[in-house]
Amino acid sequence: MLKTLATLLLAALVLILIGAGVVYSGAVDVAADTPHSAPIRALLETARERSIAVRADDILVPDLSDAELIQSGAGNYDAMCAMCHLAPGVQSTELSNALNPAPPDLTDANRKHEPAHDFWTIKHGIKATGMPAWGQSMDDRYIWGLIALLEQLPALTPMDYQALVAASGGHQHGGGERAMQNHNPAPANTRPHDGERSVEQHHPAQPATPDLHRHADGTDHPH
Ligand code: HEC
């Protein structure tokens, strides 16, 4: 009995040492532009799905058909999510193309999801992916606004979507983020969007010149 135990412990130690050797040798490729092998991908996806399912179990979902809630999510989605998760009429962006894992297309009507799981994901983020923990800067009610918007997103035309964004009163968090406002300093002659708190000026109402952004190929384009 004792001998079997000692053999098992020794085998475990050898496996750990081999694992450490592989990691230390640099054989693990962390480049975002090389895909994971199928087994690693399956392992990571299962770990993510089970982790979220277990933790999102007791989340109570409010009425997501409330028009005001949907509208409140649109401005935030456009400002903070669309660059990765796309929007009606937007098929790809630099971030949606270059991140690994790729941000899921949240306009896709076939995306399998549950509102409580989406809420948990948005609030807490996902480690070692590009998905931030928005709960650090946004109150729950603003996250529910995003969830309400997500439920409608696949059915919205680009025009419907733009109209909702325009009507939503801009980008608001309501959480602890107020201390670090002004992501994009606005020119002096601009005013906040209607309904946006006066301290918030993320996006100039009328930029004098669009932000130009130079790429390695030498082309400029506005963002
Ligand atoms: C920098 C890019 C980035 C930004 C910005 C971002 N996300 Fe994500 N998000 C991701 C990535 C990458 C994943 C997938 C992670 C994975 O596969 O484990 C993800 C996953 C998700 C998921 C889970 C989707 C599914 O079907 O599994 C939801 C919901 C989500 N994000 C919502 C949002 C919302 C809402 C915002 C804006 C408040 C946002 N994300 C901002 C990159 C981003």
Of 134-138, 155-159, 219-223, the range with the lowest mean pLDDT is 219-223
Close Cβ partners of 190 (under 8 Å, ≥ 6 residues apart): 201, 204, 205, 206, 207
Check pLDDT > 50 for residue 196.
no
Choose among 143, 157, 142: nearest CA to 115: 143
Q: Is 171 in the pocket of ligand 1 (CB under 6 A)?
A: no
Q: Is 82 in the pocket of ligand 1 (CB under 6 A)?
A: no
Give the pLDDT score at 185: 46
Distance from the CA of 137 to the center of ligand 1, in angstroms? 16
Q: Is 152 in the pocket of ligand 1 (CB under 6 A)?
A: no
Cα(146)–Cα(14) distance, integer angstroms: 49
Check pLDDT > 50 for residue 129.
yes
Choose among 137, 139, 134, 138: nearest CA to 123: 134
What is the separation of C-alpha 184 from the centre of its chain, rounded to a whole number of angstroms?
19
Structure tokens at 111: 């995306």
Cα(85)–Cα(106) distance, integer angstroms: 6
Between 188 and 114, name the one with better pLDDT.
Answer: 114
Give percent of the chain above pLDDT 90.
74
Q: Ligand 1: which of 80, 131, 139, 165 to mutate, most ligand atoms within 8 Å of CB? A: 131
Longest dimension (CA), the chain: 81
Give the pLDDT score at 15: 97
pLDDT tens profile 91-127: 999 999 999 999 999 999 999 999 999 999 999 999 9
Check pLDDT > 50 for residue 188.
no
Structure tokens at 141: 């009610």
